[in-house]
Chains A and B, each alone.
Chain A
């Protein structure tokens, strides 16, 4: 397949609306947080529509709870579908985690045990979601702080197997790999090597903070040097993958994030050929095979 390559993007944050609308900075695309626009109307949707006119977008959600043992939340999926129709994103992603049980929402991305029973459970649910919304989704790897005794394989085997069986794609968060590698003592390169390049559709780059020896995925700092190295390693293995910087807290002026994104582009230009980096929207990711 030809992988769509959108280029280099940023997470769309309210602090930057004004700047983006006034200056139309040369960013290839934006990722929106889906839940922020699941409101009836007003400024959030007006700004979204306005910015969408000028930029390609992808949608990123936190509430699908794909790993939960509660029934799929079809009310949420209906809202997601409505937003997909409005935004016409290049693709839609959520996380390989669970957030809700007994209909109580933790508002966190909680980890799963890595074993065959859980793989089956999640593959079924991803396929149900893909059927429901009529398109393939991307799932993102987490940062995690616990390991369950019931895990029987590495995280990358788990992720890869789910993508292979469900037909979904992967949003590989390079920072999350780095954070989890530190917290669970594995080599992040083993993780990157363990993922099938054909399933990788997007990268996240982000910052983190230290909590003693543990690293917490806080998205409130610039991307660190080790994550930049790992990014280059991932590009070498996967080729051109749409890349963005994810900053959720301590949000700097737009220009500062843009500069960080330019560094990602510089690394990609150094690592890959111009031909590999030609932007293409690829085949439309609509209709599940």
Chain B
């Protein structure tokens, strides 16, 4: 048999399909070809499960062993790995939970997975220096409307329609989680890493969410103020916007700024 078809059969055997692979493997009195191959098939599934258990330990404790195991099997069966690192194997789990029944009927599951994933991403996201208030002091007044900001690469905004964050917090503290609640109103959270390399999180009120989302998508300060005008009076809007900027600076969320072609990082 050609090496290529041998490798394909071996891989599809690991994925649980029946192949003619047994015929090309020696059986010995000590162990049959089938049992020898099953060492690999079991090892394959076990390794992927270990990766999922590591990445989603809160979701695991929330669902319990049996339910989580069923979830892992479903994910492994439908998501062969295309990554060279197990760190990224679980990347589509939150999406599967959001889209596939019965999980999609319990929105807190996908949201819990998203929260765990956000912390993992924040943990090893790219490094960037933090902006300080001095960076802003030197911006000429006429340049402010064109001001654009770059967020820390670790910064992520999470939208929750359930109390998934409360569930996550309880599980992190080793406490029994509150009962799941689904809401019509969305709740926003931000997760990011500070220079001490620790990940932080806090809720975002709607106005601040609007501002942070706008700036993280590359809007200018003028465009940001435009959006806040739906929420505040004309006099209050710039004061509110500057207030948000100040707290983002103090909380080490910003990595760079840009105005009239000048940038500082």
> Which residues of A pack against B, CB within 8 Å?
35-36, 38-46, 63, 68-69, 73, 76, 79, 98, 100-108, 110, 112-113, 117-118, 121, 145-150, 183, 185, 211-214, 216
Contact = CB atoms under 8 A, between A and B. Distances in A.
A113 B21 CA distance: 13
B10 A110 contact: yes
Nearest to B9: A101
A39 B124 contact: yes
Contact of A69 (B4, B81, B123): B4
Contacts of A150: 1, 6, 24
Interface of B: 1, 3-4, 6-8, 10-11, 14-15, 24-26, 28, 30-31, 33, 36-37, 39-40, 43-44, 47-48, 51, 80-87, 89, 122-127, 153-154, 193, 197
A112 B24 CA distance: 12
A41 B124 contact: yes
A185 B85 contact: no
Contact of B44 (A63, A108, A118, A214): A108
B87 A39 contact: yes
Contact of A104 (B24, B43, B80, B122): B80
Shortest 3 CB-CB contacts between residues of A and residues of B: A41-B127, A40-B126, A63-B84
Contacts of A113: 3, 6
B24 A213 contact: no
B180 to A, nearest CB: 31
Given A69-B4, A108-B44, A148-B25, A43 B197 contact: yes
Binding site secondary structure of chain A = mixed
B26 A145 contact: no
B26 A149 contact: yes
A145 B197 contact: no
A162 to B, nearest CB: 14
15 contacts: A40-B126, A41-B124, A43-B124, A45-B124, A69-B7, A100-B84, A101-B8, A101-B10, A106-B11, A107-B44, A108-B14, A112-B3, A145-B36, A145-B40, A214-B30
A212 B30 CA distance: 9
Q: Which of B1, B4, B36, B85 has the most CB of A within 10 A?
A: B85
Nearest to A115: B3
Contacts of A46: 197
Q: Which of B3, B83, B85, B122 has the most CB of A within 10 A?
A: B3
Nearest to B123: A42
A43 B121 CA distance: 12
B3 A38 contact: no
A106 B154 CA distance: 29
B197 A149 contact: no
Nearest to B23: A149
A270 B83 CA distance: 45
A45 B43 CA distance: 29
A107 B39 contact: no
A214 to B, nearest CB: 6
Contacts of A36: 87
Contacts of A68: 7
Contacts of A107: 44, 47-48, 51, 81, 86, 89
B39 A211 contact: yes
A105 B4 CA distance: 15
A146 B36 contact: yes
A42 B193 contact: yes
Given A41-B126, A149-B26, A213-B30, A108 B43 contact: yes
Q: Which of A39, A44, A76, A213 has the most CB of B within 10 A?
A: A39
Contacts of A35: 84-87
B53 to A, nearest CB: 13
Nearest to B26: A147
Given A102-B8, A146-B37, A214-B30, 7 more contacts: A35-B84, A38-B85, A73-B84, A100-B84, A101-B10, A146-B33, A147-B26
A212 to B, nearest CB: 7
B28 A185 contact: yes
Contacts of A79: 84
Given A46-B197, A107-B86, A145-B40, A121 B26 contact: no
